[in-house]
Chain A
Amino acid sequence: MLKILKNFRWQYWVLAVVMVAFIVLQVELDLALPEYMSEIIALITIPGSTMEQVWQAGFKMIGISFGSLLCTVVTSFIAARIAAGFGAILRKKIFDKVESFSLEEINKFSTASLITRCTNDVQQILMFITIGLRLLITAPIMAGGAIIKISGKSSELTTITMIGVAVIVVFVVILTLVVMPKFRAIQRLTDNLNNVTRENLTGIRVVRAYNAEGFEEQKFDEVNQKITKTHLFVNRVMSLMHPMMQIVMNGLSLSITWVGATLINANKLTLPVMMSFNMYSMQIVMSFMMLIMVFIFMPRASVSAKRINEVLDTPNSISNPQNPVSANDKKGVVEFKNVSFKYADADECMLKDISFVANKGETVAIIGSTGSGKSSLLSLIPRFYDVTEGQVMVNGIDVKEQNLADLRDKIGYVPQKAILFSGTIESNLRFGNENADKDLLQKAVDIAQATNIVQAKGFTGNVAQGGQNLSGGQKQRMSIARAIAKQPEIYLFDDSFSALDYKTDKLLRQALNKEVSDATKIIVAQRIGTIKNADKILVLDKGKIVGNGTHQQLLQNCEVYREIAQSQLSKEELENA
């Protein structure tokens, strides 16, 4: 928790000190209030007091109240400024850090978790800072101040107050200890409840097709009973809190009055002191309760702080080389030299001893079953991951020695899952090439067979987050156009054609071959039809290259390829091909 505060700027530390000063002042003022009250009480008991004296004391009290209000306003102001500013800094730091992560770090945390860390966890910390931190500072000062005021005035009453505090602290701690584990259970059961309901909803057609409504309701009922039971327990226990607090507070003021009366009778105490004691003891009890609240909430914030620190402390596994080798005159050549690759916490290699060359203008296809390592292979080229062994060379230079931005500028990547960004059609097309002119954009759109999408929506047409207002095939074509607009030397298509129907698939590839014949194209695909005409086909099986050649050659000499082909084409077609 403390570590996260290191991200404070020095201005905030100064502000924080000012804030503490104002809090001290405010507590001082609050504590002074009962003194003037005793003064008025004293005035009444002293015969011959004038109304002016009462008014004077009264005005002082109003002044003090107002002063205390001003202090709180200043404190709130500073607290809000610090929290908002700190939040912005934290968010920015996490965002920048995540932006610099390679896929390896992203996978380590998972995207969903990174998002929560940058949003929810930051909110948690802010909440703690605005509310918790202030209480954390105010409570001890207030308790301390009140204790100083009453100390030495009556040891008996002080003892009573302390007992009251002790009872409340012990009680709340016990209650919390009993209830906390159940709170976690509720969290878990809520997840279960959600899960069962989600299952019923996502599988609603299956549930109905199998007439399994009763089965689903029974599953739900089980969780429902459990969660109700836990809720009942927790709430019944927590119902103790309020009556218990009341009894302690009331008991305290009764004890002080009663014992106080005895003491006054024995001439050990005066009436005004007793009355102010009543006020101060309440304040002490309240401060302790505030502290307890803070400690109940602290664990949540510190969990968040820990999660944020984890992100900020993760070293980047891929960064720019110290002295990047600048490009040479080679263009569009990709070479794998005995590349093996293993994911960070995997036991086995995803890719083993891969070697091949893709020359300028060539089309190289990669085929294989799911999990054979096709996508992993592609992701090594833009250096999303670093190889475990061997070298990946682009234009004859190891990718590790190139400036990352320069390297990625040469590459047009089309991912498996087409995703667009919120904005317009045009902003998406310009995503990798800010300065592309309209003609280039139009050409890219035409090649990608996306002309009708752009015609329908217009270049200024709105694109929702993730491109949700476009269909799968439309998104895929837009995502291809986005890569073309970048005018890269090397295209990487990661199973990018599977969302397209056969006809569009064919037209798109024809256009690509015609319009960007200079560029090297590396295509991962499932359909034999998509890759049949490639210059070179690599057949991957369990991370190894088991075939390398043209369609015809592979049909002759590669068993795995033949199997794939047979499952998709009929005998005659294979023979005719």
Chain B
Amino acid sequence: MKRFAGRIAHAAFVLWAVATLTFLLFRLMPGDPTLNFLSDSFSEEMRADLLESFGLDKPLPEQYLIYLGSLLQGDLGVSFLQKRPVLDILLAALPNTAALTITALVIAYAFGIIAGAFLAFARGTVTEGIAIPAALITRAAPEFWLGMLLLSWLSFAWGIFPSAGANVAGSEFTSEWARLTSADFLWHLILPALTLALYLQGLPLLLMRATMLEVLNDEFIVMARMKGLSRWAIVMRHAARNALLPVATAFALGLGSSFGGNVVIETVFSWPGLGRVLVSAVQGADYPLAQGAFIMIAAVLVLMNMVADLLYAWLDPRVSVGARR
């Protein structure tokens, strides 16, 4: 319990640090949000009006205290440019990002775990000679390049998948849930999720393979072989379960980092998620929206870190036993 409380305090500190850094970062950047409104009718009076309406006319320490006070009440403020509550904007984009990230991670990790396990068995074979470089190439290839290749083949040339967006133009749905579970949405999801999965699969595959190679030398595997168990049973029932530990941790951390790291994929596929909200907020010096997006991404990452910790302890009781000592 004490350890859990410690983790919570640690997470709170990280979030405070992120909140403070993003607050200062945007205010130290050259330019301010009034530059978005420069036009031939722009005047100093208009600038002063805008700064006042943004609350940027107040001294920096006062702005900071207001900001922290609001944050503690769960208020992320109002977007300078969209004039809507930041939380509403983020929550509107979150389901799209969550759908894309979780789908891609599940595909990448399911494939990576199975392929990694079998590649450990196939050590020194031609299969390994082809599969490992292939995994490394897809891991190393820039996401936008992979995305553009898939778009040009599967969408522009063969016309199988749509080119952009999360739904057909003007589609009507009775609820957000109906939209997210519609065939139309899933059809639009395939290409971006596949691109992200291709990019992500290298890590679980290589991790799984490396851990499996260690596990396969353990005595209980030798025993399983001596018992005459099938290759499938040895890999899946004995070796893989023991090799899953670091992969499970990587999954939780990957989930956290991918929430904020989909900017490229979201731009290539015009996917309306958190990454694009973040980019347009930073470009437009929309401080509250950018801060809110960073904090939300950081919160997911911190949460997933905690989940990884707990998962580790659950999967391997030795970890929590060690902690108690």
Are A and B genuine complex partners? no
